Amino acid sequence: MSDLRDLYQQTIIDHTRRPRNFRPMPDADHHARGHNPLCGDRLELYLKLSGDRITEATFTGAGCAISTASASMMTEAVKGRTIAEAQLLFEKFRILLTTPIHENVSLDGLDKLEVFGGVREYPVRVKCATLAWHTLEAALKRDDHEAKTE
């Protein structure tokens, strides 16, 4: 368990210091804003799709370490996936963060995202970690409204 916690902290720090895909995308064909009022995290997400496959995902914004790291890793995780695959990944990610660890559910495919299982110990942080994913859902629906974690 302590190994996982170390990995969790190292991964969060790494992605907070050097967020991947952190830039606006002027020619994005999907775009949404996300806001987590509980913590003050804000982000904008930009997507490019080819058919139903996400070919590019970038973000900008300002938030706490967990929201930034989560957005960074989410953009990496969904790139190259279909919309359905990305939605399934969000579903598993949500289960990872909110379901007690002893409940045996299959979370295959989360890969690196599994480090966010550490967030489970800090329920107030779950919304920080899921903000990017809620914003992804809004962007895929072409929803111009702001995605909220509430």
Name the site residues for Zn ion (rule: CB under 5 A): 39, 41, 64, 67, 128
Min. distance of Cβ 4 from Zn ion in angstroms? 21
* For Zn ion, the closer CB: 47 or 71: 71
117 token code pair: 């299982």
- Name the residue type at position 93: F
Q: How far is the CB of 39 from Zn ion (least distance, A)?
A: 3
| C-alpha to C-alpha distance for 59 and 31, rounded to whole angstroms | 9
Considering the complex, state which of residue 65 and residue 107 has its C-beta at the smaller distance from Zn ion. 65
* Distances 118 to 9, 30, 62 between C-alpha atoms, Å: 9, 31, 22
State which amino acid sits at residue 64.
C
Q: What is the DSSP letter of 82?
A: B
Q: Which is nearer to Zn ion, 11 or 67 (CB)?
A: 67
- What's the CA gap between 82 and 63, in Å, rounded? 27
Q: In angstroms, what is the minimal distance from the CB of 122 to Zn ion?
A: 10
Q: C-beta of 12: minimal distance to Zn ion in Å? A: 11
Is the CB of 41 or the CB of 137 nearer to Zn ion?
41
**Among residues 50, 45, 140, 41, which one has the least CA distance to residue 89?**
140
**What's the closest the beta carbon of residue 76 comes to Zn ion, in angstroms?**
19
Report the Cα 134 to chain-centroid distance in Å. 8
Smaller CB separation from Zn ion, 44 or 56: 44
